[in-house]
Chains A and B, each alone.
Chain A
Amino acid sequence: MRHALRRDLMGIYTIWLRDVRRFVRDRPRIIGSLVQPTLFLLVLGTGLGHGTFRAMAAGEGPDYMAFIFPGIVAMTILFTSAFSAISIIWDREVGFLKEVLVAPVSRWSVAVGKVLGGASVAVMQGCVMMLLAPVAGVGLSAPVVLTMLPIMFLVAFAMTAMGIAAAARMASMQGFTVIMNFVVLPIFFLSGAMFPLEGLPPWMTVLVHVDPLTYGVDALRGVVLGVADRPLAADCSALAGFGMMMLALAVWSFGARD
């Protein structure tokens, strides 16, 4: 039994290491996946901050670009996590997944390794995004960054686990593109990354609270800007709870697949 556990932990580490190594090596991907968040931050941040939201913020509180900065970091993590989930479908398509599935490691450790690998990569990508803080007019002190990291990891973990759970049974890329459009984008839009969540119509308020990313954005905003809708502990518990649920689902889908 101890032997089996050791073997599975080694399996998790191996699968994690592969994802991280591939990421670090892939400069075009690192840079490429920064384009979208940067556009959101700079173009939408400047454009919207200039009209609508300036009036709303009415002088006090953070300005719009600073307001969306934590949301953009969360967005970067969300998109990177989704991409990691896609890579598992890709692995299946190019046959590499078979190499993993005939190895003497448990299915659950393969799923956990993929989730941790994808989550680590997403956190790294989020860290690269933090370099834009000065542009957004946000000052990041060392303690703030150190508090952000575990929150970012929770967000990345929850989102990757959800992606892997969805991708574990999917045979084609097309299916995943649909998921991207019907799940990932709504998750981003409803998370409050781009606008404050006050005074929304009731139907939207419900959706906002179902959206797991809402809690990540709120937690990050609380740490970075000092304004939050909920206590940090509440946000983190929601994220961790959702993440664990998704991880269980990912492990289950992976194991159930023949």
Chain B
Amino acid sequence: MAQPIIEARGLARTYRNGGRAIEAVRGVDLTVEAGGIFGFLGPNGAGKTTTINMLCTLVKPTGGSARVAGFDVVAEPHQVRQKIGLVFQDPSLDERLTAWENLAFHAMLYGVPRPVWKKRAADLLDLVALTPRRDDLVRGFSGGMKRRLEIARGLLHRPDLLFLDEPTLGLDPQTRNLIWDYILGLQKEHGLTLFLTTHYMEEAEHCHRIGIMSQGRLIALDTPEALKQGVGHDTVTIGVDDPDAAAERISRTYGVAVRRDGDQLAFPVRDGAAFLPRLIAENGLAIRRVAVRRPTLEDVFLSLTGSAIREDSPDHFATIKASTRRGGRR
């Protein structure tokens, strides 16, 4: 039926930095159907922002092609721009204008008639709970308020597709939840397509479909459930008195790789619930705590990139965790 809202074929971008070539995106094939929330996942530097910049016509691809909302991003940039809204990774408001003036500026640039945008802007400010601050300069806004205002602005011209690049980056957990409430509410209410990136794996659980980027390549594309099922194992975590000995024993008995974190051991097993009774009965280990975890998207990422990373770094789990958890802007 309807054509896909995003269709990229071999999309690539290489930056020249002095003499060095940085292959930020190395040939991405991606189809996103209209409607729903598409999540673009990956650690810092994976090429998520560069991909968005190409899709939104800010950066020209050095290879491949892409159509967004039915228009070619290189040949028909104006048509693409009219159809999309953007919330950038870094703030892009005019801090010397008020919230309202920022919205007015946007509406005028997009050619939205005055009576139309005034009504919409008022509604959107309500939606993001900024009506009381409408005539205040943006300079005095908190990070969360700015982000909410940018979301409202991105919707003002009624785009078919809204890009949100790390919409919750650098915000405290409470604000992050609030932003997610808005995002989910929006999607339900307006039925538009949301395309968002995040490197918080747990946030990706909200998405209907997920693409995982690593080192400029799209390495997976599916629903979160299917991706997690694809991992094929649960993770068992136990707390023991003598972790070294226990780790040794478990890895010998069951032939699994055991990760140690303080007095905690974690290891993958096919069916965690069925495995636990065996573990307890067979080993005589002094187990203090035990937990079984179904695969998370973090496990998905690990299992997808693991083989490549494991070869050169046995400590890959810690590395990925650090890069996905911490990682400041860009």
Tell me the A residues contacting B by CB distance below 8 Å.
4, 6-7, 10-11, 13-14, 17-18, 21-22, 25-26, 94-106, 258
Q: Which of B81, B86, B96, B153 contacts A104 (CB under 8 A)?
A: B81
Name, among A7, A102, A103, the residue most crowded by chain B CB atoms within 10 Å (CB to CB). Answer: A102
Known A-B contacts A102-B58, A104-B111, A258-B60; the reply to A18 vs B86 at CB < 8 A is no
Within 8 A of A (CB), among B59-112: 59-60, 78-79, 81-82, 84, 86, 88, 90-97, 101, 105-106, 108-111
Q: Which B93-141 residues have C-beta < 8 A from chain A?
A: 93-97, 101, 105-106, 108-111
Closest to A110 in B: B109
Say whether B95 contacts A94, CB under 8 Å.
yes
Q: B161 at the A/B interface (Cβ < 8 Å)?
A: no
- Determine the chain A residues whose CB is within 8 A of the CB of B246 once the complex forms: none
Query: In the complex, are the beta carbons of A22 and B109 less than 8 A apart?
Result: no
Give how many B residues have a beta carbon under 8 Å from the other chain's beta carbons: 28
**B82 with A98: CB separation less than 8 A:** no
Q: When chains A and B are docked, how far (Å) is the Cα of A103 from the Cα of B92?
A: 13
* Contact between B111 and A258, CB atoms less than 8 A apart: no
Residues of A with C-beta under 8 A to B91:
94-95
Q: Is B32 interfacial (CB-CB < 8 Å)?
A: no
- A198 CA to B77 CA, complexed, in Å: 54
What's the least CB distance linking A26 to chain B, in Å? 7
Nearest-neighbour CB distance to chain A for B52, whole angstroms, equals: 10
- Whether the pair A96, B110 counts as a contact (CB closer than 8 A) is no
Pairwise interchain contact A10-B78, C-beta atoms closer than 8 A: no
Chain A residues in 8 Å Cβ range of B97: 18, 21-22
Of B56, B60, B96, B111, which one neighbours A22 at CB under 8 angstroms?
Answer: B96
B111 contacts A18, C-beta separation under 8 Å: no
Taking the nearest CB of chain A, how far is it from the CB of B44, in angstroms? 18
A113 closest partner in B (C-beta) = B109
In the bound complex, residues from chain B placing their C-beta under 8 Å from that of A14 are 105, 108-109
A103 adjacent to B95 (CB under 8 Å): no
- Which chain B residue lies CB-closest to A11? B109
Q: Do residues B96 and A26 form an inter-chain contact, with CB atoms below 8 A?
A: yes
For window 273-321 of B, CB contacts with A under 8 Å fall at none
Complex: chain B residue closest to A103, CB-CB: B109
**Mask of B132-170 contacts with A, CB within 8 angstroms, 1/0:** 000000000000000000000100000000000000000
B57 within 8 A of A: yes
**Within the complex, what minimum Cβ distance (angstroms) separates B72 from chain A?**
15
A96-B93 CB under 8 A given contacts A14-B109, A103-B110: yes
**Least CB separation from B94: chain A residue:** A96
